Amino acid sequence: MDQKQTHWEHFFRDDSSNMLEDALPYLPPNLKKSAALYIKFHELQNIMEDFDDEDTLSACGLDQNDASMEMMLTAMRMRAPKETAAQIDQLLQMMKMAKMYQSYQDFLKANPNANTPSGNSSADSDMMAKLMPLFMSQSQPGKQETSNAPNSDLLNQINQILKK
């Protein structure tokens, strides 16, 4: 399957649209706006047709199901103003904490004896004192995770702390 490679800016255009755009400066002023609208309408029409094609979707990466809310927020954060970026950071931190809490709940389900009440509240607070630095290191916004897989190192660290 031999495909002609095109630049992204001309991906949804054909020769007639390109020629019409080249002619825009030479058109009478009352036709320029109509011609420009026609060009954009034609581009949108091509986009709608091409995005129904599976090859186009896979070339753009839109057929992947592993896109997550975190990935979308991270991408949006790059172009956001400072205030909005800070809000997005807060959302991302809350999402990481929710994942961490879910991992902890899964750990407790897998190890039911780790959830036995000790009857001693100081032991619980001591455990939280051991776990807090771990939680804080996981929720820092400057650290980017390299994969979206569950953090097995975190579970191992929690398991080691609980065994002490």
Q: How far is CA 159 from the centre of its chain?
A: 30
Give residue 2's region: left, alpha or beta (phi > 0; psi -120 to 50). Answer: beta
According to the model, what pLDDT value does residue 155 have?
65
| Cα gap 19→32, rounded to integer Å | 14
Give the tokens for residue 24.
Answer: 């825009």
Q: How far is CA 43 from the centre of its chain?
A: 27
Location of structure tokens 């959830």: 115
Q: How far is CA 114 from the centre of its chain?
A: 34
Looking at residue 4, what DSSP letter applies? -
Query: Where do the H-state alpha helices sit in the chain?
Result: 15-23, 29-50, 54-60, 69-77, 82-110, 121-138, 152-163
- Give pLDDT tens digits along the chain (164 positions): 344 444 555 567 778 888 988 999 999 999 999 999 999 998 888 878 777 767 666 666 655 655 678 888 888 899 899 999 999 999 999 988 888 888 888 888 887 776 665 555 555 556 666 666 666 665 555 544 444 444 566 666 666 776 65
Query: How many other C-beta atoms are found inside a 10 Å radius of the C-beta of residue 29?
Result: 6
According to the model, what pLDDT value does residue 98 have?
87
According to the model, what pLDDT value does residue 17 have?
83
According to the model, what pLDDT value does residue 104 have?
85
Give the tokens for residue 65.
Answer: 């199901």
Query: How many other C-beta atoms are found inside a 10 Å radius of the C-beta of residue 96?
Result: 19
Give the tokens for residue 74.
Answer: 């991270």
